């Protein structure tokens, strides 16, 4: 086979065969196809798209580029979830312990932050001592022992995705549905889930900005899961404002713990979101007949304290200090904490959530380059939502910064991201629908 023929075929809007797709992924991963040739093919795919058959072929080829995790010698049914990324999304920290406390073991491989969008591992690492670096044997032993593991994505799973993703990042080919879908699903399939719940974020703080695009991405990923024999559901959820109130690593861990403890200060939108994702996980695992019954089980697991105990067990099993759960002030604390207040009175019309994510990165809570260190303590807590009426001088957000310079920069970005108008504005929905296998 010849890479020039493959590029020109896609450039001229023809379908690639399964053999051509497999050959490209294998040879690119081996280094036999150069980056500039792979870039040309990615751009041709970006411009001309891929059929359902091509997309599943690409996903399977990426998945087969490395090892596959098989937990079936430990678990009867493997449940997994994935979020397409956003700001303030700490759902895994709450949902996985609750699902495990309901008797459905969960061993999740998570990632780090990507651009302005936070990552589960970075959040969890703000707990002193906690580590995501577990071998496959350790993952199996821990999930058999306590029913819950949160580990780092190993480089041996879907290695072609790491290489292709890095190339897409620097060739403006990230925002392409078949490429996003195959990237996410190859990792999920390699991680071995029998049931997969996809949380497809839509809005100003997500990679996908419109409901139409989000639905198409969800359908593409659900079709891939279905064709690969996995029971897959996608929840379309809003990301036009941060999920919950906190954004920034240790602030999000604290909010997740408050939610598991059912503290009065825990935000309702975040809890609703956790119930939705968690109930689909229990439902796919056959834990109850209806989604309502699954929700009731999750509420019971939170109210009985079983969920927070499961979280504590996971933290201590992975080397973390369990007493932060009872003493949140032992989490890393920022040096300079101050409020941003509204400069006018009116209704919040719009929030540029991507900008808010960049505010966290600028404060030091995310990375501009792969090697950048993370400051776990920084970020913001924003108690206001789209549709809220605010008066001039009211607190819009509390910024946790390393110093006054960082605070001032974040303050400007946050103020310019929140639009306040005179006319009444409707609240945003939390969800835009659910896509099931067809």
Contacts with ligand URA by CB under 6 A lie at 84-85, 165, 174, 180, 183-184, 207
Catalytic annotation present for 258:
no
Minimum CB separation of residue 161 from ligand URA in Å reads 7
Report the residue closest to ligand URA, judged by CB. 183
Which candidate in 10, 81, 140, 168 is catalytic?
A: 168
C-beta separation of 270 from 321 below 8 A: no
Q: Is 187 a catalytic residue?
A: yes
* Active-site choice (82, 230, 261, 276): 82
Q: How many residues does the chain have?
A: 438
Of 78 and 185, CB closest to ligand URA: 185
Catalytic residue among 90, 112, 187, 261: 187
Q: What are phi and psi of 76, to 5 degrees?
A: -75, -40
Nearer to ligand URA, 178 or 406 (CB): 178
Q: Considering 57, 161, 199, 269, which one is annotated as catalytic?
A: 161
What's the N-to-C CA distance of the chain in angstroms?
35
For residue 285, the 8-state DSSP code is T
227 in catalytic set: no
Give CA–CA dist 361/88, Å, rounded.
13
161 is catalytic: yes
- Give the C-alpha separation, 330 to 272, whole Å: 28
The whole-angstrom separation of Cα 244 and Cα 247 is 8
**Which of 180, 425 has the CB closer to ligand URA?**
180
In the bound complex, what is the minimum distance in angstroms from residue 82's beta carbon to ligand URA?
8
Measured CA to CA in angstroms, residue 434 lies from 33, 191, 214, 292 at distances of 39, 23, 11, 15
- Looking only at the bridges linking them, the beta strands covering 246-247 and 231-238 are unpaired
Note whether 267 and 232 are within 8 A (CB).
Answer: no
Q: Which C-beta is closer to ligand URA: that of 130 or that of 165? A: 165
Q: From the CB of 205, what's the least distance to ligand URA, in Å?
A: 13
Closer residue to ligand URA (CB): 78 or 184: 184
* Residue of 313, 31, 73 whose CA lies nearest to 159: 31
14 catalytic residue (yes or no): no
The distance of closest approach from Cβ of residue 219 to ligand URA in the complex, given in angstroms and rounded to an integer, is: 16
**Smallest gap, in angstroms, from Cβ of residue 84 to ligand URA?**
6
> Which residues are tagged catalytic?
82, 161, 168, 183, 187
């Amino acid at each position: 086979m010849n890479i020039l023929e493959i590029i020109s075929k896609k450039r001229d809007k023809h379908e690639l065969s399964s053999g051509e797709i497999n050959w490209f992924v294998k040879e690119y991963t081996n280094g036999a196809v150069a980056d500039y040739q792979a870039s040309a093919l990615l751009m041709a795919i970006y411009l001309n798209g891929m059929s359902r058959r091509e997309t599943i072929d690409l996903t399977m080829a990426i998945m087969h580029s490395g090892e596959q995790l098989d937990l079936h010698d430990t678990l009867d049914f493997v449940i997994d979830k994935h979020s397409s990324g956003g700001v303030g999304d700490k759902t895994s920290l709450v949902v996985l312990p609750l699902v495990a406390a309901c008797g459905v073991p969960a061993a999740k491989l998570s990632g780090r932050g990507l651009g302005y969008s936070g990552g589960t591992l970075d959040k969890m690492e703000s707990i002193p001592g906690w580590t995501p670096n577990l071998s496959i044997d350790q993952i199996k032993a821990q999930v058999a022992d306590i029913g819950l593991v949160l580990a780092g994505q190993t480089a041996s799973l879907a290695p072609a995705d790491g290489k292709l993703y890095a190339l897409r990042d620097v060739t403006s080919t990230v925002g392409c549905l078949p490429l996003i879908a195959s990237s996410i699903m190859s990792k999920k399939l390699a991680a071995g889930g029998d049931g997969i719940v996809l949380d497809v974020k839509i809005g100003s703080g997500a990679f996908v900005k419109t409901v139409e695009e989000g639905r198409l991405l969800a359908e593409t990923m659900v079709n891939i899961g279905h064709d690969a024999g996995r029971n897959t559901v996608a929840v379309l959820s809003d990301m036009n404002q941060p999920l919950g109130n906190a954004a920034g690593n240790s602030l999000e861990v604290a909010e997740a713990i408050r939610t598991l403890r059912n503290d009065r200060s825990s935000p309702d939108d975040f809890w609703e979101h956790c119930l939705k994702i968690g109930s689909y996980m229990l439902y796919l695992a056959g834990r109850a007949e209806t989604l309502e019954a699954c929700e009731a089980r999750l509420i019971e697991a939170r109210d009985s304290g079983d969920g927070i105990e499961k979280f504590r067990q996971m933290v201590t099993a992975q080397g973390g200090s369990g007493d932060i759960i009872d003493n949140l002030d032992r989490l890393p604390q920022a040096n300079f904490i101050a409020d941003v207040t509204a400069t006018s009175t009116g209704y919040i019309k719009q929030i540029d959530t991507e900008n808010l994510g960049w505010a966290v990165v600028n404060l030091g809570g995310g990375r501009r380059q792969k090697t950048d260190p993370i400051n776990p303590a920084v970020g913001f807590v924003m108690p206001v939502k789209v549709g809220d009426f605010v008066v001039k001088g009211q607190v819009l957000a509390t910024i946790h910064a390393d110093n006054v310079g960082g605070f001032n920069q974040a303050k400007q970005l946050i103020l310019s991201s929140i639009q306040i108008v005179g006319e009444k504005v409707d609240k945003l929905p939390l969800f835009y629908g659910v896509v099931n296998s067809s």
